[in-house]
Structure 1
């Protein structure tokens, strides 16, 4: 995944539709939360085993919602001036330090 390319493409869509004015960190965070809630809804009443064996249509829907969450997070990082790759790597290194002892 080339984060810079994805971000450029998202910016092209944003700019073409004059959405920059709506893309405040607050709004992007709320939008990502809404998409995450849509992902949660897929699993809401499933048992543990059912959640690991989604039907093809459910799996495709989950993929769409995951994509939405990731794209909003890319836009949020852009607005905040954060490097998504660096943020994720730093968090992973911290998690490894804490839980691989």
Structure 2
């Protein structure tokens, strides 16, 4: 499947708009956002618990939607965490890919 471009700034604006309506901004500090990422990652993992490798690849539409929801939650919390910490996600990902290439592909 070809990855579509995501507008992370727009995703974050929408996330913050919902938080503003619900008055959740005070809870969106870096510590709480990092915890939320971990909690959502646990919820993602729970969707795969007890599935065989084949079942994890061949999910029905309902299960795929649940997995998509958890992935989206993680992404939304990560966009806000990076914004709060003034970390450019594109730069962080590019840097990490280069580090992985050097580490795992013995590139100098």
1:20 maps to what in 2? 25
Partner of 2:52: 47
More contact order relative to length (CA 8 Å, sep ≥ 6)? 1
The runs of at least 4 aligned residues of structure 1 exceeding 6 Å deviation read none
Number of the residue aligned with 1:36: 41
Ranges in structure 2 where 5+ consecutive residues have no aligned partner? 1-5
Which residue of 2, 8, 31 maps to 1:3? 8
Query: Once the two structures are superposed, what CA deviation does each residue of 1:52-100 show, in whole Å capped at 9, x if it has no partner?
Result: 1111111111001000011001111111111111111111111122222
Unaligned runs of 5+ residues in structure 1 are: none
Q: Which residue in 2 is equivalent to 1:77?
A: 82
DSSP-derived class of the 2:51 partner: coil
Q: What is the aligned-residue RMSD (CA, Å)?
A: 1.3
Residue 89 of structure 1 is matched in structure 2 by 94
Structure whose residues are more often helix by fraction: 1
TM-score (norm 2): 0.85
Q: TM-score, normalised by structure 1?
A: 0.90
Tell me what 2:71 maps to: 66
